[in-house]
Structure 1
């Protein structure tokens, strides 16, 4: 692990630690986006330990400072949601690029990290696909359950199917190894027609 990466990682963590929103996990309270960042990085290293430094940074910074651009600040319809998602990607990429510049990374690496965070060429670029697999795996492992509490079965099946369709075959295999509740595993199987 390079000194540059350590510095960038520390800076990303420091930014995410400022999240005013918190999440309880294993009887401990964490800033929400710091916990997400740590989950992303751990899942990436478990899933693909040879990931490039650029992917590692992109995984850690995937939701950097997300609370600064709340969903409620956009129209609460499909168009508003899509615009919010698009603006978020650019915001995360720009915030991360600024940190990487301060840590002395060259422009080529900064541009590549931004490319990955903006999820460009999904299904065509191997590293973008790797990052998307990790995002989906983290969602299925840690964030599916809160969705189950909020949505009806048909909407949940649709969410699972959309998530599944973004993943690679290797991602699918990894997703089926996650330790789901019996109810969530059945929901996934029903959504996928397994």
Structure 2
């Protein structure tokens, strides 16, 4: 196996241990394994020639996320932001350990960590690519459950924040997602389209 094949196999093996499950199209999956697969497939659809570092970062974006539950931090804005920052470092470190074992050089490992930690968003093209994929996966698979849980004004705020993180190419891809009529109306209203 190549270092890439080892890394992807081992990332999948870690995510397959997620005790949380999600059912999709009548099949049940470990939640983070399903998320990882969705991320990777969306990357291949959106930018098939993405670098190996971006492909690894995409697979590992949420690696072992269940080990740092949101509830282990204060349930306020400060607690949320601290959790998000700690998660990025945790995902990067967990992935780095796998990449060392897979035989990657330190320079490659550092690059993947840089991407997972989403450094220089809007300035680094590959960090932006990863963020676009994250936003597209959210909009395609996780947006509707958010709509069910939050009021219209909060959702409009979430849409705007998501949109502002994306590139123009990300915006174009997002508008091609097969949203329900009501969700598409909500998105257009939030964006003033």
| Superposition TM-score, scaled by structure 2 size | 0.99
Shift of 1:148: 0.6
**Separation (CA, whole Å) in 2 of partners of 1:170 and 1:126:** 12
Where do 1:123-134 residues align within 5 Å? 123-134=122-133
Question: Gaps (5+ residues) in structure 2?
Answer: none
Where do 1:62-77 residues align within 5 Å? 62-77=61-76
Q: Paired residue for 1:18?
A: 17
Shift of 1:116: 0.0
Shift of 1:3: 1.2
Where do 1:122-161 residues align within 5 Å? 122-161=121-160
Q: Paired residue for 2:98?
A: 99
Note the alpha carbon deviations across 1:166-187, whole angstroms, 9 max, x for none.
Answer: 0000000000000011111111
**Separation (CA, whole Å) in 1 of partners of 2:189 and 2:19:** 37
Root-mean-square deviation over aligned CA pairs: 0.6
Q: Paired residue for 2:80?
A: 81
**Separation (CA, whole Å) in 2 of partners of 1:105 and 1:16:** 20
SS at match of 1:76: coil
Shift of 1:133: 0.2
Q: Paired residue for 2:173?
A: 174
Report the number of matched residues: 193
Q: Paired residue for 1:192?
A: 191
Q: Paired residue for 1:120?
A: 119
Note the alpha carbon deviations across 1:152-179, whole angstroms, 9 max, x for none.
Answer: 0000000000000000000000000000
| Superposition TM-score, scaled by structure 1 size | 0.99
**Separation (CA, whole Å) in 1 of partners of 2:33 and 2:186:** 29
SS at match of 1:120: coil
Question: Gaps (5+ residues) in structure 1?
Answer: none
Note the alpha carbon deviations across 1:25-78, whole angstroms, 9 max, x for none.
Answer: 000000000000000000000000000000000000000000000000000000
**Separation (CA, whole Å) in 2 of partners of 1:93 and 1:26:** 31
